[in-house]
């Protein structure tokens, strides 16, 4: 299994969003090194983190009348749905499925999401002063 390098979070200039991105990358590092039992627990914690992380962004989008809210929220829902499905597999003992997802899929998704969707959101928030 070839893993992608853990992304270095870009600073977009929004304290809460940048903090969530930093925390997400820290979870990826922890999960990469986690043993089977630790991985199961930490995968659940990462899923919970993403739920809160996405909800914060979703709230900011609604508060600021972000024009791309539907698409951005849809991407959050898609990834959170994947995390929930993988969490069920991981908790049933199929750790390799979750590990492959964390190492092979999440880093690339995160880089793309931050540099496109989140960067556009933060620019909108700066203009809206939210």
| Domain layout of the chain by residue ranges | 15-54+67-128
- Please determine, for residue 80, whether its predicted confidence score (pLDDT) is greater than 90: yes
Q: What is the pLDDT of residues 31-57, one digit of tens each?
A: 999 998 999 999 999 999 999 999 999
Long-range contacts: 10-18, Cβ < 8 Å, 24+? 10/114, 10/115, 10/119, 12/114, 12/118, 12/119, 12/122, 13/122, 13/126, 14/122, 14/125, 14/126, 16/56, 16/60, 17/56, 17/57, 17/60, 17/118, 17/121, 17/122
Give the pTM: 0.89
């Amino acid at each position: 299994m070839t893993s992608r390098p853990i992304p270095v979070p870009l600073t977009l200039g929004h304290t809460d969003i940048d903090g969530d991105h930093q925390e997400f990358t820290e979870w990826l590092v922890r999960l990469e090194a986690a043993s089977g039992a630790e991985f199961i627990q930490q995968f659940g914690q990462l899923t919970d983190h993403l739920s809160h992380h996405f909800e914060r962004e979703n709230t900011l989008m609604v508060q600021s009348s972000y024009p791309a809210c539907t698409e951005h929220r849809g991407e959050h829902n898609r990834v959170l749905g994947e995390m929930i499905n993988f969490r069920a597999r991981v908790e049933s003992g199929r750790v390799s499925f979750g590990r492959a997802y964390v190492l092979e899929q999440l880093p690339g998704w995160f880089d793309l999401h931050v540099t496109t969707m989140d960067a556009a959101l933060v620019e909108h928030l700066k203009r809206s002063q939210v």
